[in-house]
């Protein structure tokens, strides 16, 4: 069966520090991969999605970047965090072809 792993669950970082969140999917190949963010009191904002290794689509110009170095690995990064980067970050995957997204357990990021 397929599983998605996302870590860490909680992260507290100072402003200006770098960020690296990692997500891996097991039990499938060539999935579509996604990063979403839920800011306090807001909905799920699509940040990046990837349909293959090295292929990244960015939805919102911002302080973040994403990379897909391997088929089932998706990384969210920042060189210098801002206060506004605080939020609940969710990785998700989608088998192709299929309609549903499956989410990881999320990372609560607090930038202080």
Partner 1 sequence: DQQVKQNSPSLSVQEGRISILNCDYTNSMFDYFLWYKKYPAEGPTFLISISSIKDKNEDGRFTVFLNKSAKHLSLHIVPSQPGDSAVYFCAASELPDDMRFGAGTRLTVKP
Binding residues for partner 1, rule: CB under 8 A, are 6, 32, 34, 36, 42-46, 49, 51, 57, 59, 88, 90, 92, 94, 96-97, 99-106, 108
In the complex with partner 1, the residue whose CB is nearer, 57 or 84, is: 57
In the complex with partner 1, the residue whose CB is nearer, 46 or 53, is: 46
Q: Smallest distance, Å, CB 33 to partner 1?
A: 11
Alpha helices, DSSP H only, in 6-76?
none
Q: Which residue has the tokens 């349909």?
A: 51
Q: Smallest distance, Å, CB 80 to partner 1?
A: 26
C-alpha to C-alpha distances, 2 to 11, 26, 84, 90, 99, nearest whole angstrom: 26, 5, 33, 17, 15
Q: Smallest distance, Å, CB 11 to partner 1?
A: 13
Bond prior to 3 in cis (omega within 30° of 0): no
For residue 71, the 8-state DSSP code is T
In the complex with partner 1, the residue whose CB is nearer, 67 or 102, is: 102
């Amino acid at each position: 069966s397929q599983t998605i792993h996302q870590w860490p669950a909680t992260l507290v970082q100072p402003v200006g520090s770098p960020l690296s969140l990692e997500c891996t999917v097991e039990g499938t190949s060539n999935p579509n991969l996604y990063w979403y963010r839920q800011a306090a009191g807001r909905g799920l904002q699509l940040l990046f999605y990837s349909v293959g290794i090295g292929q990244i689509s960015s939805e919102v110009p911002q302080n973040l970047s994403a990379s897909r170095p391997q088929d089932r690995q998706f990384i969210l990064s920042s060189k210098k965090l801002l206060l506004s980067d605080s939020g609940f970050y969710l990785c998700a995957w989608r088998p192709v072809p299929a309609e549903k997204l499956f989410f990881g357990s999320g990372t609560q990021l607090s930038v202080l």
